[in-house]
Structure 1
Amino acid sequence: MLSCITLTYKVSDEIIRKHLESHKTWLKENIDLGHFIFAGPIENENAGFILSTLVNKDHLEDVLKSDPFVEFDLVEIEVKKLSSIIRNKNFLF
């Protein structure tokens, strides 16, 4: 099972840009820890997406709380759980 996380911006692009480098650092740290598989902006939307290996609700919430975008209340977060029924043999999750 994986967690699909959508971060919808609640503030202007200018404010998002001020916190973007610290947000990217946070993303890289969590990718390096194996918490996230990938992350990036959603095209043509004021939002971003994270695919996470974390499925424990409390652990995921703790990790998300440490995101600068969350700390400064810049985004609305939506988490959905995803189970794989069919997948490419190279995708190990």
Structure 2
Amino acid sequence: MFIVLLKFSDNKSSAKEYMDGHNAWIKKNFDDGIFLLVGSIEPGQGGSVIAHNISLQELEQIVNADPFVSENVVTAEIIEVSPKKTDERLNFLAN
């Protein structure tokens, strides 16, 4: 499982220009079963993603394909998490 932090860069003002592509990137990765959650880092610092069922190398490629990343609207940090104990509703993450 991975947590991806997408923190706004100095090019934050360009976000509107790339928003449609960013939203299509999010939708594709939900449709592909990779993204579990996408949300904002408050207050207005960027976004975050929880991803699973993918290798680190594959996720790096996906993250780099985000228009926000490729156009330097955000910088990306990928954190790998190895779940050891979960609420039973999230048991699928520990398998």
TM-score normalised according to structure 2 size? 0.85
Q: 2:15 touches 2:73 (CA, 8 Å); kept in 1? A: yes
Percent identity (aligned): 23
Q: 1:3 touches 1:54 (CA, 8 Å); kept in 2? A: no
Q: Structure 1 runs of 4+ off > 3 angstroms?
A: 11-14
**Cα distance between partner residues in 1 of 2:50 and 2:11:** 24
Deviates further, 54-63 or 40-49: 54-63
**Cα distance between partner residues in 2 of 1:44 and 1:38:** 18
- Structure having the larger proportion of residues in helix: 2
In structure 1, what is the equivalent of residue 86 of structure 2?
87
Any stretches of 5+ residues in structure 1 without a counterpart?
none
Deviates further, 25-34 or 65-74: 65-74
Any stretches of 5+ residues in structure 2 without a counterpart?
none
TM-score normalised according to structure 1 size? 0.86
